[in-house]
Amino acid sequence: MRMPFIDSEASRREVPWTTRTLRLGSLFASTLFVAACAVGPDYHKPPQDIPATFKEGTDWQRAQVNPQGAISSTWWLDYHDDTLSSLVNQALRANQSIASAEAAYRLARATIDANVASLFPTVGVDASGSRSRTAAVESVTSQPYMSNLASVSASASWEVDLWGSVRREIESAKASAQASDAQLAGERLSIAASVAVDYFSLRQADVDIASLKQQQGIDARILEMDRAGFVQGTVSNDEVLEAQDTLELVIAELQATETSREQDEHAIAVLTGTPPASFALPPQPGYVFTTPVVPPGFPSQLLERRYDVVSAERTAAAANARIGVAKAAFFPTLTLSAQGGFEHNALANLFSVPNRFWTLGPDLAATIFDGGARSAAVHEAEATYDEQIATYRGTVLSAFQSVEDSLSSYNHLCKQEQAYANIYERNQRLFSSQQAQMRAGTTSEQALLTQQITLLRAGQSLRDTQAALTESSVTLVKNLGGGWQWDDARGAAVSISANAAQQSSDQKSGERSQ
């Protein structure tokens, strides 16, 4: 249903100027008043039951000086490894997953700009000229008729956002862009964490390979001694076979470890955007693992630090706004249009008052019957919102679970490391004792070699646990949403380290003012 209104030159002469101005002013004021409304529910963040502390982090938090401390946005620097830092920086620049997430974010921002543009009028200009020839009419003249026509005009059209449909579209687009922003931050965090975990796994393989090669040499020496003893009749064939099995097991374990190292190296190459064939990391068999302090904060901060939680919440906000868009379809649309210009058969006299023309009028349109399509759209939007709310709450629960798992792993690995350290220290004393007995002639070389293998395995277990502890700290940083958080006031992502520095600066400024 449409109600057009056309204001021409004739109607303008019939209506007094003041009356016409009042009418247009009243229409414009009424339009602005109605446009201030927006149908649909306003968004409120879904409530969550947040625990006061992490269940598995009690002992760990108690040992920290500042449990509310921020995780640095460049947290990998705390491991004090220049090679790792270089690899992470290279991955953040070159990784294709980050490039894809960044493009998705730019797309979301462009969608906002496109929706904002819908709030403003569309203005166009047109200029044309023509020369035409008509056939001669015998009753009038035998000559053909020639005519010229020149025209210059401008037009404007504005669909007034009476019921807030466009504003809800903008609201939804902004929330979607914020979700994309969180996904981009999460992709960066995930890539950096993947590089760190693969790197520490590779260094663990370096340590294991060196230890296994030492064990292989010792086992080969023991096998050689057993074969000599078998020839002399002091060693049974069963003992020779057992020595052979022990050596082959070490060789098999060495091959598996070298395979693991090569695959870690390939993974790091891909993460840094480099073909595996042209990428290599020199081995460091004496690598020392470092485990920095990772401040866990409080559970409530997790909802701001975890990119997936923020993304799910922003997606729910976008879905809520879409309900308003669907409901606005039940109301009529108002389009204000205007056109004016000059038209004449001679270009020289085109821009003169008698040659002007203009039209002005609103267009009100409404759908009377659609077979329930609009109602279905509203129900679809409401169902989508309910689905996103459920997803958000499930994401929050999963976030708490992953942090609790990381804290549990970290706590037990700390105790495991201490146990292996004690075992290694005792085996060092036992090996020293065997060396002393060997020098005194009270023990055999084979007994000394056997004790040396036990010492090597104890050292390998200790270093493996230290590597697992370092990798666990990286996983904890990731699960805590390290280096990033959501600022509700700004509606954007911020660096935690930068935010903490700003808070510290504000606090110092306040102290000086007092």
> H or E segment at 400?
helix 373-440
Query: Any idea what DSSP says for residue 136?
Result: -
Long-range contacts, stretch 145-148, CB < 8 angstroms, 24+ apart:
147/345, 148/345, 148/346, 148/347
d(CA 142, CA 300): 93
Q: Mean pLDDT over all residues of the chain?
A: 82
CATH of domain 40-121+169-203+252-331+376-505: 1.20.1600.10
Confidence of residue 330 (pLDDT cuts 50, 70, 90): confident
**So where are the chain's domains?**
40-121+169-203+252-331+376-505
Of residues 356 and 211, more confidently modeled: 211
| DSSP of 229-294 | HHHHTSS-HHHHHHHHHHHHHHHHHHHHHHHHHHHHHHHHHHHTT--GGG------TT--------
Q: Which residue has the tokens 């022990």?
A: 246
Taking the CA atoms of 507, 509, 511 and 513 in sequence, report the sign of the dihedral they define: negative
Tell me: pLDDT of 128 over 80: yes
Tell me: pLDDT of 275 over 50: yes
User: Kindly report the CA angle at 98 between 96 and 103, in degrees rounded to 5?
Assistant: 95
Q: Which residue has the tokens 């996904």?
A: 183
Tell me: pLDDT of 428 over 70: yes
Percent of the chain with pLDDT over 70: 82
Q: What is the mean pLDDT of residues 72-101?
A: 91
CB atoms within 10 A of CB 120: 8
Confidence of residue 87 (pLDDT cuts 50, 70, 90): very high
d(CA 241, CA 248): 11
pLDDT of residue 352: 78
Q: What are 145-198's pLDDT values in tens digits?
A: 677 788 888 888 888 888 888 888 898 899 888 888 888 888 999 999 999 999
Of residues 298 and 443, more confidently modeled: 443
Q: What are 201-248's pLDDT values in tens digits?
A: 999 999 999 999 999 999 999 999 999 999 998 889 999 999 999 999
d(CA 220, CA 450): 12
pLDDT of residue 137: 57
pLDDT of residue 142: 59
3-state DSSP assignment of residue 128? strand
pLDDT of residue 500: 43
Of residues 14 and 37, more confidently modeled: 37
Tell me: pLDDT of 504 over 70: no
d(CA 89, CA 100): 17
pLDDT of residue 42: 85
d(CA 168, CA 133): 54
Tell me: pLDDT of 313 over 80: yes
Confidence of residue 140 (pLDDT cuts 50, 70, 90): low
3-state DSSP assignment of residue 199? helix
Q: What is the mean pLDDT of residues 73-86?
A: 92
Query: What's the one-letter identity of residue 141?
Result: T
> H or E segment at 119?
none
Tell me: pLDDT of 67 over 80: no
d(CA 436, CA 430): 10
